[in-house]
């Protein structure tokens, strides 16, 4: 059973380290990519723990059933010997997402690259011939010339892919298409949710419509999620409110969105993936995975202490 918010071990019995992550389904296997935060919080000059850990890299886990995850290792490691490198441990590397490019036959990883004070605000890319890497880092960009912090990539059913990123110091969510090789951005830029400060974007499609869930901006503290609907990835986006129902609604059940996962072979079945951050000990942050219900254009996420994929069976 999924047990949201509890310790989740991999098949070696070690806590899964894949925070701010996303899942790729590829040739019958799920691959979960996320931030490896397997280190103590950094200690500041006054001896207090800071709300950060050094960058270790991007982890990958594989699974057939979404419950049992095999550790495939760190597939994009930190670069400790070059202080100027985007992936130096002293910096920020968050929210990795991987999509497969059928044209180039490459797995393309995008992630938020930043300085410790979050003023660098760029997006990095890395590529691999296999889902489990190793990924080759190809540098960072200011997408469409703008600042970029929390982000995700979304691949549409026609193969077009899009970058959604918090911009203008997070006030605006910008959306832009990726080039055919998925390594850069191209074309018009949508400015969505202007002034409403969304972070932690997750995007999916269902029955010809497009859906976005994001959080507010309160650092590592949880706040209410909000979702929106659009006729196309570039919008226009219409805000529909908080998808969470029941106790915990105002804090997304103590968590923050990171991804919405379509369950393979089950049209209309989606899993809402979120992080329950522990700012005082980030490596001990937990995962909150919950079934996401679609009813027409209405999105609902409700709490379950435990659940399995039979939650998507008819009549439940």
| Residues near ligand DGJ (CB under 6 A) | 20, 94-95, 150, 199-200, 219-220, 256
Residue 10 or residue 94: which is nearer to ligand DGJ going by CB? 94
Q: Report CA-CA distances (Å) from 261 to 22, 148, 247, 277, 292.
A: 8, 23, 23, 20, 9
Residue 269 or residue 282: which is nearer to ligand DGJ going by CB? 282
**Distance between start and end Cα atoms, the chain:** 16
Q: Smallest distance, Å, CB 215 to ligand DGJ?
A: 7
Residue 25 or residue 118: which is nearer to ligand DGJ going by CB? 118
Residue 104 or residue 223: which is nearer to ligand DGJ going by CB? 223
Residue 269 or residue 301: which is nearer to ligand DGJ going by CB? 301
SS3 of residue 246 by DSSP: coil
Upper half-sphere CA count for residue 82 (Cβ side, 13 Å): 7
Cα 27–chain centre separation: 21
Q: Smallest distance, Å, CB 174 to ligand DGJ?
A: 16
How many C-beta atoms surround the C-beta of residue 266 within 10 A? 11
Q: Smallest distance, Å, CB 166 to ligand DGJ?
A: 8
The dihedrals phi and psi of 135, each to the nearest 5 degrees, come to -90, 140
Q: Smallest distance, Å, CB 256 to ligand DGJ?
A: 6
Q: Smallest distance, Å, CB 268 to ligand DGJ?
A: 28
d(CA 49, CA 162): 37
* Residue-by-residue DSSP string for 247-284: TTGGGTTT-EEEEEEEPTT-TT-EEEEEEE--TTSGGG
């Amino acid at each position: 059973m999924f047990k949201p918010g509890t310790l989740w071990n991999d098949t070696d019995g070690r806590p899964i380290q894949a925070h701010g992550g996303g899942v790729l389904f590829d040739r019958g296997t799920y691959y979960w990519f996320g931030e490896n935060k397997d280190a103590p919080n950094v200690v500041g000059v006054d001896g207090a723990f800071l709300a950060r850990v050094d960058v270790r890299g991007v982890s990958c886990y594989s699974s057939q059933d979404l419950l049992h995850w095999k550790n495939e290792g760190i597939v994009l490691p930190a670069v400790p010997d070059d202080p100027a490198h985007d992936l130096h441990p002293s910096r920020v590397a968050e929210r990795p997402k991987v999509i497969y490019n059928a044209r180039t036959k490459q797995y393309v990883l995008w992630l938020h690259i930043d300085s410790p004070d979050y003023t660098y605000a760029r997006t990095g890319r890395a590529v691999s011939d296999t889902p489990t890497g190793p990924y080759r880092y190809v540098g960072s960009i200011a997408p469409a010339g703008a600042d970029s912090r929390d982000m995700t990539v979304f691949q549409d059913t026609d193969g077009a892919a899009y970058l959604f990123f918090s911009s203008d110091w997070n006030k605006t969510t910008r959306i832009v298409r990726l080039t055919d090789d998925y390594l850069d951005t191209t074309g018009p830029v949508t400015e969505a949710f202007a002034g409403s400060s969304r972070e932690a974007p997750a995007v999916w499609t269902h029955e010809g419509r497009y859906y976005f869930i994001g959080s507010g901006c309160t650092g590592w503290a949880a706040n209410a999620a909000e979702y929106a609907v659009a006729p196309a990835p570039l919008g226009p986006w219409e805000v529909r409110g908080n998808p969470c129902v029941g106790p915990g609604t105002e804090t997304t059940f103590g968590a923050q969105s990171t991804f919405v996962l379509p369950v393979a072979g089950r049209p209309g079945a989606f899993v809402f993936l979120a992080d329950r951050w522990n700012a005082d000990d980030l490596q001990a942050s937990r995962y909150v995975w919950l079934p996401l219900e679609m009813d027409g254009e209405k999105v609902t996420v409700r709490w379950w202490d435990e659940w399995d994929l039979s939650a998507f069976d008819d009549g439940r």
